[in-house]
């Protein structure tokens, strides 16, 4: 009987250890940094412990998903060669329910660092429940984004970054986060924690790829492209690059078009590239399609807004 009890306890402990260690970790040489020194603000209960899972795309490609993130982190990826002094925060998508950590995370970081850009991958809180009122989709994710940009700017000297050349890139729900942070930076959603929360969290530029959650629900694409009222575009909104495929069956072209119109009306410099094919969630894996050239377009655009040297 004692032996059976011992075996049960050992198996239970092993199970707990597996559950606790099945969290996303970056490749060797990179370290996750907690963005909050203590508990994150506005905590919401998640269904269980954080875990990593894989799915296959219709093309047979593996995508790494991270779920139940309650302890947000950032991982800094330094440039592979020459440091251009530019940093970009990377927001993976996943409908505010999960995070596509390789397809829209580490893949993007590898591209950026190969171009001399410091990449900062944010593992933000998911899932979160929608909230009635401002920042309805995920105030927790926006809090994590505000905090992280402030942290990066406060470490600019240490990480060899120009504090006036810090931008954001996001995909799908991460694209919505790009728009939210681009327009909600004058006031943090949380009480200041330290000096990092007293520096600006305004991005100097923004890149939103097949964004979601930007078109007000219930509007008619054919007649009205009304922007989500949470996205309050002003003349202070940073220059923005938009990428979208017409055959996106998840969020559709209305999201990006609504944001483009809102930016243009406010006089914000905006460049949009709309492709016939690509679908949703292609990241850097749209080989054989014209949309696969989008990273080069971003690099050119960064030169035109004087973030990168041409």
pLDDT digits (tens, 9 = 90+) for 208-260: 999 988 887 666 656 568 888 889 999 999 999 999 999 998 888 889 999 99
Task: Indicate the range of 37-46, 174-183, 220-229, 287-296 predicted with least confidence.
Answer: 220-229
155: in domain: yes
> How high is the pLDDT of residue 123?
98
- The model carries a pTM of 0.90
The chain-wide mean pLDDT, for the chain, equals 89
> How high is the pLDDT of residue 13?
35
Give the domain CATH number at 258.
3.40.50.1820
Number of domains into which the chain is organized: 1
DSSP label of 42: S
Q: Give me the domain span that covers residue 298.
A: 2-304
309: in domain: no
Q: pLDDT band at 14, cuts 50/70/90? A: very low
DSSP-assigned beta bridge partners for residue 62: 56
146: in domain: yes
Rounded (10°) angle between helices 139-154 and 173-183: 60
Burial 30-39 (b: 16+ CB within 10 A, else e): eebeebbeee
């Amino acid at each position: 009987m004692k032996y059976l009890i011992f075996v049960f306890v050992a198996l239970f402990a092993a199970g707990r250890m597996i559950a606790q260690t099945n969290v996303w970790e970056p490749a060797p040489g990179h370290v996750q940094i907690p963005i909050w020194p203590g508990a994150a603000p506005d905590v919401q209960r998640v269904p269980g412990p954080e875990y990593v899972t894989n799915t296959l795309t219709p093309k047979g490609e593996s995508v790494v998903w991270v779920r139940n993130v309650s302890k947000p982190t950032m991982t800094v990826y330094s440039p592979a060669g020459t440091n251009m002094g530019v940093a970009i925060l990377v927001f993976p998508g996943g409908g505010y329910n999960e995070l596509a950590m390789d397809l829209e995370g580490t893949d993007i970081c590898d591209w950026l660092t190969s171009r001399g850009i410091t990449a900062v991958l944010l593992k933000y809180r998911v899932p979160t429940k929608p909230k009635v009122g401002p920042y309805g989709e995920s105030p927790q994710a926006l809090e994590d984004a505000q905090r992280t940009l402030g942290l990066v700017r406060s470490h600019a000297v240490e990480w060899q970054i120009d504090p006036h050349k810090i931008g954001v890139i996001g995909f799908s729900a991460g694209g919505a986060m790009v728009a939210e942070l681009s327009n909600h930076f004058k006031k943090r959603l949380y009480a200041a924690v330290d000096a990092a929360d007293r520096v600006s969290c305004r991005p100097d530029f923004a890149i939103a790829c097949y964004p979601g959650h930007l078109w007000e629900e219930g509007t008619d694409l054919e007649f009205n492209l009304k922007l989500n009222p949470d996205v309050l575009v002003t003349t202070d909104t940073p220059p923005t690059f938009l990428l979208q495929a017409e055959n996106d069956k998840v969020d559709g072209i209305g999201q990006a078009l609504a944001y483009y119109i809102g930016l243009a009306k406010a006089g914000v410099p905006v460049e949009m590239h709309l492709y016939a094919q690509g679908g949703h969630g292609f990241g850097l894996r749209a080989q054989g399609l014209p949309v696969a050239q989008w990273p080069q377009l971003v690099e050119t655009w960064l030169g035109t807004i004087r973030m990168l040297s041409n």
